[in-house]
Amino acid sequence: MAKEKTVRELEDLPGIGEATAMKLRNAGIDSLDKIGTLSPHELSDISGISVDAAKKVIQVAQESVNINYETGEQFYERRKQIGKISTGSKDLDSLIGGGVETNGITESYGRFASGKTQLGFQLAVNVQLPNNEGGLGGATLFIDTEGTFRPERIESIAKSAGLDPKSILSGIIVIRAITTEQQILTLERADKLIQEKNVKLIIIDSLTSLFRAEFVGRGALGERQQKLNQHIHRLQMLADKYSIAAYITNQVMDNPGILFGDPTTPIGGNVLAHAATTRLYLRKSKEDKRIVRLVDSPNMPEGECVIKITTAGIAD
Ligand code: ATP
Ligand code: MG
C-alpha cells in the first residue's frame, strides 16, 4: 500500500493542482481549515471540481487539520503569561482587569471627541514602558485610517511622564492607510515588521471608517462584512501568534429604533461584536471627563468608570 503523504498545503489535497489551488486562494480559501468548513457544493462552485471529488477533498482536509487541545489547567497557566498595558487610569485599568491585554482585541467605540484616539496615544506610549511599570517593553504599529495621528500629542504625553519623546516616537511605527486595501495589506504583511521592531501593540484607528466609506448601500454590506471579518481575524491571529495587544476604535451610528436609553450602536454589527475580546463604550461627560463603560469582557463584570483627558494624557 502506498504510504499516505502528509497534507500541509492545498496542493497536497487529492486532485488539487496548482491552478485549482490558485483559484481557491483567490477566493480567500487559503488554508486546510477553510476547506474543511466548506460544503461539497461550495467547494465545487469555487474550484470547478466535481461535487464527489469535493467531498473527498473536504474529508482529507478535515482529517489533516490539527485540533490543538489543552486542559483548563494548562490554559490557565498560559493565561498567566498574558501581558497588560496600563491605560494611564487606575480606575480604567481595574475596570478591565489590570489593563489592555495581549492575545486579544480591545475595542473602544463612541461618538467624536469621546477619547478613542487619545486612549490609543496613551497606550502607544505606555506599551514602551517596562513590564513592572505598566508596559510590555515593546513598540506600537499604529494604523491611522483617519489622518488623526499627532506626534505632538505623543510628545507631550511622553514628556509629562518623564520619558524621552524622541525615543518614544521612534517606538511608534505609523502607517497611514487611505483605502481598505492598504489597511488590509498592512496587516497581511505585518509579520516581519512585528518581529523586527518588537511590536507589542497594534492600533487600528479607526477599524471601520474606510470600510464604511467604501462599501456604501445595502448591496455592498455583505462584502463589507466579509472583508471586515477576514481583517479582524487576521488581527486576532497576529495577537495570538506574537502575544501582542490589539486596540481598535470604532464609530457609532444613531439607532432610531431605540426609543429609551442611549440610541447609539457601534458600527460593524455582529462581525465586530463577536471578534472583540473587550469592548469599551466611551461617552463625553463634563469638561475633560469621559465615562467608560465596559460592555463586554470574557472575565470581568460590566461596569463604568470616569477618566480624564488631560495634556498629560489619560488620567483618573
Ligand atoms: P473621533 O470619532 O472624531 O475620532 P475620538 O473619540 O477619537 O473622536 P479623541 O481625538 O480621542 O476623540 O478626543 C478628542 C478630545 O481629546 C478633544 O475634544 C479634547 O477634549 C481632548 N484633547 C485632545 N488633545 C488634548 C490636549 N492636548 N489636552 C487636553 N485634552 C485634549
Ligand atoms: Mg479619533
Shared domain for 33 and 160, answered yes or no, is: no
- Domain with residue 16: its CATH number is 1.10.150.20
In a domain, 225, yes or no: yes
Q: What is the mean pLDDT of residues 205-228?
A: 91
Nearest C-alpha neighbor of 174 from the set 204, 213, 212, 200: 204
Shared domain for 25 and 161, answered yes or no, is: no
Ligand 1: residues whose CB is within 6 Å?
Answer: 110, 112-118, 148, 251, 309-311
Shared domain for 132 and 21, answered yes or no, is: no
Residue 259's pLDDT is 65
Domain that holds residue 37: 10-64
Grid cell digits, residue 231: 481583517
Shared domain for 60 and 142, answered yes or no, is: no
Shared domain for 203 and 99, answered yes or no, is: yes
The 10s digit of each residue's pLDDT in 58-86 is 999 999 887 878 899 988 888 888 999 99
Shared domain for 149 and 281, answered yes or no, is: yes
Grid cell digits, residue 1: 500500500
Which of 309, 310, 311 is the best mutation target for the ligand 1 pocket, counting ligand atoms within 8 Å of the beta carbon and taking the most?
Answer: 309
Shared domain for 21 and 85, answered yes or no, is: no
> Could you identify the atom of ligand 1 that is nearest to the CA of residue 310?
29
Residue 233's pLDDT is 93
The 10s digit of each residue's pLDDT in 88-101 is 999 999 999 999 99
> Taking phi first (over 0 means left), then psi (-120 to 50 degrees means alpha), and beta for anything else, what does residue 36 get?
alpha
Residue 1's pLDDT is 43
The 10s digit of each residue's pLDDT in 164-196 is 999 999 999 999 999 999 999 999 999 999 999
> How far is residue 299's CA from residue 112's CA, in Å, rounded to a whole number?
29
> How far is residue 286's CA from residue 275's CA, in Å, rounded to a whole number?
32
Nearest ligand to the C-alpha atom of residue 114: 1
Residue 159 pLDDT level (bands cut at 50, 70, 90): very high
What's the total number of domains in the chain? 2
Nearest ligand to the C-alpha atom of residue 153: 1
The 10s digit of each residue's pLDDT in 233-289 is 999 999 999 999 999 999 888 777 766 667 678 887 777 777 888 999 999 999 999
CA dihedral 248, 254, 257, 259 (to 10 degrees): 110
In a domain, 4, yes or no: no
Q: Which residues pair with 247 in a beta bridge?
A: 106, 203
Residue 150's pLDDT is 98
The 10s digit of each residue's pLDDT in 8-59 is 899 999 999 999 999 999 888 989 999 999 999 999 999 999 999 999 999 9
In a domain, 23, yes or no: yes
